[in-house]
Amino acid sequence: MTLGFGEMTSIKYLYCALVIVWYVMIILCNSAVITVVTLHKTLQKPMYIFISTLCLNGLYGSFAFYPSLFINLIQDVQTISYVGCIVQNFALNSYVGCEMTILAVMGFDRYVSICNPLRYNTIMSITTVYKLIAATWLYVFILATIHITLTIRLPLCDSVILKIYCDNWSVVRLSCVDTTLNNAIGLVLMIATFVITPLMVFISYVEILRVCVRSSKDFRSKALQTCAPHLISITNFFVDALFEATLYRLTPTNLPYAYQVFTSVNFLVVPPLLNPLIYSFKVQEIRTKISKLLQITTPLK
């Protein structure tokens, strides 16, 4: 299958260099957060475990995207096998779903921490945390499997994908037969991802705001400081992913090619690096442990 790299090949060596630098930064930053959370018992708490899970998912999504992108950039013809396309399709679908559901669970964790502090340790026990993470991955993999199962049954009339990676909608559009069933179920699954999880986050933060309004100024300040990294992460990813999903289905051919490429990969480029940086700088415990890990005598400001 041929990927739509188009004008990118004109300066492919510059893009190759940028891809390598960015991917290495993603690996180092996410690995640092995962390492300190894993090695230090003081960080074996729900919030930090969820953060490390978010970073692990960032590595997973990046691994499904960046090596393939680099290989295609250095080749004269940008192609991917059908099996490789399906695997990448599954991986990127599950990456998006996991990112959104993990962020939703983190919103619930913040709700319990702020609204029910006395019951927090009981409700969010370590066992419960791992069950929530397992349920998150299981839920997402089931949705991604449904997507892929419906897609691989379709006969294809074309082999040219307009994007620089394989996603489900790109493959479905190449089909020779009626795709009404795929479109209908795809819409349902899209709602399950882009409506249910944001709704969970919205409800959590409505309750948090209600508690903050009735509380002292110091409490509100502390709550805002606790929630700020999560709000930044969730706003960035939800907007990027939803924009990419809806924009591409509308097929805006009048947009410049470079803009189309940027909007299609933004959710794969920014969040995997933004998340570990946000939590490394904003969460003092993680910042301190990373400083010690890197043997930095002066803590990051």
- Give the model's pLDDT for residue 89: 92
Q: What is the mean pLDDT of residues 21-38?
A: 93
pLDDT tens-digit map of 53-81: 999 999 999 999 999 999 988 888 888 89
Confidence band for 256, pLDDT divided at 50, 70 and 90: low
- Give the model's pLDDT for residue 301: 44
Rounded to the nearest integer, the mean pLDDT of the chain is 85
Nearest to 170 by CA among 186, 146, 185, 184: 186
Confidence band for 249, pLDDT divided at 50, 70 and 90: low
CA dihedral 5, 7, 10, 16 (to 10 degrees): -40
Domains for the chain: give ranges and CATH numbers: 2-293 (1.20.1070.10)
- Give the model's pLDDT for residue 222: 81
Q: How far apart are CA 249 and CA 244, in angstroms?
A: 9
Confidence band for 134, pLDDT divided at 50, 70 and 90: very high
pLDDT tens-digit map of 75-94: 888 888 999 999 999 999 99
- Give the model's pLDDT for residue 11: 79
Q: What is the mean pLDDT of residues 3-14?
A: 74
Examine the pLDDT at 300 and tell me if it is beyond 80: no
pLDDT tens-digit map of 199-225: 888 899 899 988 888 888 888 888 877
Q: How far apart are CA 118 and CA 195, in angstroms?
A: 31
Among 119-133, 183-197, 251-265, 267-281, where is mean pLDDT lowest? Answer: 251-265
pLDDT tens-digit map of 147-181: 899 999 988 888 888 788 888 888 888 888 888 88
- Give the model's pLDDT for residue 233: 86
Residue 79 pairs in a beta bridge with 2
- Give the model's pLDDT for residue 286: 80
